[in-house]
Structure 1
């Protein structure tokens, strides 16, 4: 009976050409096997549950569930899965959203192939690894002064909006937020739309990053 490959890899990207490129690149890793490919976040979550990959190569911008949320779900179900975000996005919000979702690696699509391989090898070995450009961003972020309090950090939000954002940062769904704050689902949606507009964020992942930076969602 043939031995099971040492590294089982799932590739999640909505562009077939890029998936094929990753498949070819990963073939240079000894004992590695691409066990599945996903073209959406939902498919990535499903296949990760079915195939139990050791490493998931995850794009951020995909149809339906985005890569950040897909990462959170995959790691939540299987903490041993090493998710490596491979994306065009190098902004701080995307990087920290991926980290908080549980990604152990983050590398840009424009990086040299050897850099991508280095990140994947490190994650395969159980470590966390980020490309040089991302590492510089992390160092810059952590060396910057942090706001002294949530209220001072987010003065543009009302007290109720900060409550909603705090619960979003704790991973609560809209329905749970509505029950906890005794609000209607529509009111919660309205608050969230207002929060996104005021903070100039595009989705929950980016909102969570802003919230955590401001000290929200950190304590139960």
Structure 2
């Protein structure tokens, strides 16, 4: 008598603000035959809202989305679902973003420039309880750690990093407060704390630091 093992598909939620990217990812993931995309979100807020509505195994999420963005969404989802398995799929290939995402609880970090198989492998590995980082990004993290040069960005909490990124992109305090759903006073306090922590005195120095560490592009 032959035993037929029925393998349940890995249930995935996709969060990316570009519709074309999401539809491409859906096709890519479902072509593997062992993955089923059960829901899609086009913002960090929506990812937070729908995460609890679907019994998913893995959330594949971009970092750069309008509103609260991927890092803040990651923080919020893990605060209510500590065992959530999140794979960050992003154009940010620098060690600063990867370190922030992984230290915030992401289980996978894949660059959008990676081979298609990279994301498939990441979803399968993370669903199985493992961690997966794109080889190119893992190498950058290692190179930065052995270079010995202190990186002030590493000392930032995920919330501080998100405020830093938004300030560097030219977002005003009022909009940062709205995006992160915090008071204007709290947002201003973060700005003050960032300047002290990073040893900068004005917006120009902040932008230069962000460019130097790959947080924003020139």
* 2: CA distance, partners of 1:112 / 1:28: 15
| Aligned counterpart in structure 1 of residue 114 of structure 2, from 91, 111, 125 | 111
**Which of 73, 81, 85 is residue 78 of structure 1 equivalent to?**
81
* 2:17 equivalent in structure 1: 14
Which of the numbers 48, 51, 66 marks the counterpart of 1:48?
51
Show structure 1 runs of 5+ residues with no match: 148-152, 155-161, 170-184, 207-220
SS at 1:23 equivalent: helix
Match of 1:123 in 2: 126
Counterpart secondary structure, 1:27: helix
In 1, the alpha carbon distance for the partners of 2:122 and 2:73 equals 20
Change (3 A) 1:17 1:195: same
Structure 2 unaligned regions, length at least 5: 1-5, 161-182, 199-204, 211-218
Scaled by the length of structure 1, the TM-score of the pair is: 0.68
Give the Cα separation in 2 of the matches to 1:187 and 1:109.
Answer: 36
Q: Which residue of 1 aligns with 2:30?
A: 27
The two structures, once aligned, show a CA RMSD in angstroms of 3.0
Cross-structure match for 1:57: 60
Contact in 2 for aligned 1:54/1:80 (Cα 8 Å): no
Q: Secondary structure at the match of 1:93?
A: helix
Taking a change above 3 Å as real, the CA distance of residues 20 and 41 of structure 1, as seen in their structure-2 partners, is same
Residues of 1 paired with 2:54 and 2:63: CA distance?
Answer: 21
The change in CA–CA distance for 1:4 and 1:76 in structure 2 (over 3 A counts) is farther
Provide the rounded CA distance (Å) in 2 between the counterparts of 1:137 and 1:114. Answer: 20
Residue number in structure 2 paired with 1:172: none
Contact 2:85 2:127 in 1 (8 A): yes
Partner of residue 97, structure 1: 100
Q: Secondary structure at the match of 2:31?
A: coil
User: 1:82: Cα distance to partner?
Assistant: 1.4
Structure 1 residues 48 and 166: CA distance shift in structure 2, 3 A: closer
- Equivalences, count: 173
Task: Give the drift of 1:60.
Answer: 0.4
Which whole-Å deviations, capped at 9, do the CAs of 1:113-169 have from their partners, x for residues lacking one?
01221112111111001001111012123324376xxxxx87xxxxxxx9xx78967
Aligned-partner Cα distance in 2 for 1:167–1:37: 24
Deviation at 1:59, TM superposition (A): 0.3
